[in-house]
Amino acid sequence: MSTGTVLSTLSRGSRRQLPLLVTSVLLVAMFTAGSVSYEGFFSGQVLLNLLIDNGFLLVVAIGMTFVILTGGIDLSVGAMVALSTMISAWLVQLHGWPPLVVIPLVLAAGTGAGLAMGWVIQTFEIQPFIVTLAGMFLARGLCYTISVDSISITDPTYTSMAQTRIPLGDLFVSPSVLIALGVVAAAFVVLHYTKFGRNVYALGGSEQSALLMGLPVGRTKIAVYGVSGFCSALGGVLMTFYMLSGYGLHAVGLELDAIAAVVIGGTLLTGGSGYLLGTLLGVLVLGLIQTVISFQGTLSSWWTRIVIGALLFVFILLQRLMTARRRT
């Protein structure tokens, strides 16, 4: 039976959930293969380490999910993460500002930058790719106006967040994992149980139809970029906890990892369809790829990019087949 025939036999709801199912099966298959191939791989701590090492990516990918659901894109998130680490390190380490002042300031700056880009996109009807590309260059450039070198952080609050282990029986997680999962839970509620979330899906489904229904298209579009900016800044805070430094070269290419996680998680690049749980699974898949290559020991880290690229081709093809069937 051909792929097209299989897709045509599925209900519309089942087709929408198909990428999520594929990602779940892929995650289980990869973990099973790793457990069979490598000693010590079959462990709950290995799975928790995926979240510990990728908590900041998960938060950034959540913000990216909001944007892609509307049919947009945000290329500035990696640079915003780096700028957040630089501002945090500059103010805390070099100027002695308290973290309780710096962290809200960083979050406000990221949210403001996202809202500004969303306003430009909506007001001047410019493609999100161009506006957020400009935002990426601006944020990355601002990093180097602060310092061209890495700024290490020795503040007790940051070092405590980096070193704290929250026990889960014989296992443990970091505080950043709890923050990231809290963001996932909050975003899930917003997307699936609020009017704003319904507007996001409607805007991604068809902007013209959303306008005809009287939905606040402009406010929604601006707001999702504000959400992405907030998540980027929060991801930068979590990366600061993880790296204990600010550096202009932090998070280079993170925007591509975030987009990959969202797409592998089953969200359509054209917008209007996708699940937040899929983004979580997509981040776990990316982390598991890195873990498998690390356990293997003889492969270059570039194989991570090769495998991710292959997966993206597969999932984009799957999306193409789904949207083609939807039109017919």
Which CATH number does the domain housing residue 41 bear? 1.10.3470
pLDDT score of 35: 93
pLDDT score of 7: 47
pLDDT score of 305: 84
pLDDT score of 73: 97
Q: 172 phi and psi, to 5 degrees?
A: -155, 160
pLDDT score of 165: 96
Domain count, the chain: 1
pLDDT score of 323: 67
Closest CA to 82 of 305, 282, 238, 263: 238
Report the distance separating Cα 29 and Cα 33, nearest Å: 6
Report the distance separating Cα 198 and Cα 215, nearest Å: 10
Report the distance separating Cα 67 and Cα 25, nearest Å: 26
pLDDT score of 9: 47
pLDDT score of 15: 63
pLDDT score of 328: 55
| The amino acid at 298 | T
Give kind and range of the element (H or E) at residue 152. strand 151-152
Q: Which long-range contacts (C-beta less than 8 Å, at least 24 apart) are formed by 306-310?
A: 308/257, 308/260
| The amino acid at 70 | T
0.85 exceeded by the pTM?
yes
Report the distance separating Cα 110 and Cα 85, nearest Å: 11
| The amino acid at 159 | T
pLDDT score of 11: 53
Task: Considering only CA atoms, give the Rg of the chain.
Answer: 20
Q: Are 120 and 126 in contact (CB under 8 A)?
A: yes
- pLDDT tens digit at each of 328 positions of the chain: 454 544 454 455 556 677 788 899 999 999 999 999 998 899 999 999 999 999 999 999 999 999 999 999 999 999 999 999 999 999 999 999 999 999 999 999 999 999 999 999 999 999 999 999 999 999 999 999 999 999 999 999 999 999 999 999 999 999 999 999 999 999 999 999 999 999 999 999 999 999 999 999 999 999 999 999 999 999 999 999 999 999 999 999 999 999 999 999 999 988 998 989 999 999 999 999 999 988 887 777 778 888 888 888 888 887 777 666 555 5
Residue range of the domain that includes 91 = 3-327
Q: Can you tell me which residue has the tokens 């932090």? A: 250
Closest CA to 58 of 311, 261, 242, 267: 261
